[in-house]
Amino acid sequence: MILSLAPRCVASAVLFAAVLASAPASAADLKLAREVVEVSGAASSFKDIVPIFLDEAKRTFVRTNPELSKDLDQAIKVVAPEFERRREQLLDQIAGIYAARFTDQELTEIKAFYETPAGVKLVKALPGVLQESYDKTNAWSRQMSQDVVTRLREELKKKGHDM
């Protein structure tokens, strides 16, 4: 009887460990992770997202019915807080991702970095760095594509293919 229970106990222990490993982060973990999201600048990249959605919706309505503009402005003021809360929910979900991937100690160290002069400078400079990187990558890709085609044509020409 005891031997037949052993496999079930082991299976239960493994299942329990798996549940614990996949358990959501604690409130303290999420609070710290949310602080990292804020101080890292990740939250600020979403600050205008709700107004962008509301403006796009207004433009869609006004395109087909221009006289709705004034009423839409009033309606937007009514619904905007509801959608701002949804933005906050998204930021909490992003914090959950951080909390799942980093320990409290790591989150504390990450937050401390972003609070240093170098971290503050990184947050301020990052949008420009990313834009310039994107521009350089696009230019590089276009040139690379042209060069690959040119070189392949040269090699094919050596084999008697005139392209």
Bigger pLDDT: 4 vs 31: 31
Which pLDDT does position 151 carry in this prediction?
Answer: 95
Which pLDDT does position 28 carry in this prediction?
Answer: 78
The tokens for 150 are 């040119």
Which pLDDT does position 24 carry in this prediction?
Answer: 55
Cα of first residue to Cα of last residue in the chain, in angstroms, is: 80
Degrees to nearest 5, angle at CA 46 with 44 and 51: 120
Span 52-100, pLDDT tens digits: 999 999 999 999 999 999 999 999 999 999 999 999 999 999 999 999 9
Which pLDDT does position 16 carry in this prediction?
Answer: 36
pTM score? 0.66
Span 117-149, pLDDT tens digits: 999 999 999 999 999 999 999 999 999 999 999
Give Cα 147 distance to the centre of its chain.
34
